[in-house]
Amino acid sequence: MSGYRIIIVKRVNAGSAETAEIRALAEAAGHEIVGELTQVRSEDSTYNLGQGAIKRLSERIEATAASGVIFDNELSPQQAHNIGEIVPDGIRLIDRYRLILDIFEEQAGTREAQLQVQLAELHYELPRVQEEIRLEKEVANERRSRGGLGEKENRRVTDIKERIQRIEEQLGSIDSADTKRREQHRDAGLSLVALAGYTNAGKSTLLRRLADDLAVDREQHTDLTETAGTEDRLFKTLGTTTRRATLDGRAVLVTDTIGFIRDLPGWLVQSFESTLGAVRHADLVCLVIDASDPLDDLHEKVETSRNHLADDVRILPVLNKVDVVDDRQTAREAVSQFELPPAAISAVEGTGVDDLCARIRDALPEQRARFVLSNSGETMRFVSWAYDHADVRAVDHDGETVSIELVGHPSIVRQANMRAKELTR
Helices (H), 29-149: 51-64, 77-84, 96-107, 111-142
How far is it, in rounded angstroms, from Cα 64 to Cα 160?
Answer: 38
How far is it, in rounded angstroms, from Cα 129 to Cα 164?
Answer: 14
| Residues written for the chain | 425
Residue 259 annotated in ligand binding: yes
Supply the DSSP symbol for 73.
S
Residues 6+ apart with CB under 8 A from 71: 9, 10, 11, 48, 93, 94, 95, 96
Tell me the CB-side half-sphere exposure of residue 299, using CA atoms within 13 A. 4
Supply the DSSP symbol for 323.
G
Residue 323 annotated in ligand binding: yes
Residue 200 annotated in ligand binding: yes
> What is the H or E stretch that residue 344 is in?
strand 343-344
Q: What is the β-pairing status of strands 191-197 and 250-256?
A: parallel
Given 3-state DSSP classes, what are the helix, strand and coil percentages for the chain, each rounded to the nearest 5?
A: 45, 20, 30
Residue 97 annotated in ligand binding: no
Residue 158 annotated in ligand binding: no
Residue 189 annotated in ligand binding: no
Residue 239 annotated in ligand binding: no
Report residue 54: phi and psi, to 5°. -65, -40
Report residue 327: phi and psi, to 5°. -115, 95
How far is it, in rounded angstroms, from Cα 53 to Cα 115?
Answer: 38
Residue 201 annotated in ligand binding: yes
How far is it, in rounded angstroms, from Cα 328 to Cα 350?
Answer: 17
Residue 161 annotated in ligand binding: no
Residue 63 annotated in ligand binding: no
With H, G, I as helix, E, B as strand and everything else as coil, classify residue 256.
strand
Beta carbons of 108 and 46 less than 8 angstroms apart: no
How far is it, in rounded angstroms, from Cα 334 to Cα 291?
Answer: 9
Residue 147 annotated in ligand binding: no
Residues marked as binding?
197-204, 237, 256-259, 320-323
Residues marked as binding for GTP?
197-204, 256-259, 320-323
Residues marked as binding for Mg(2+)?
204, 237
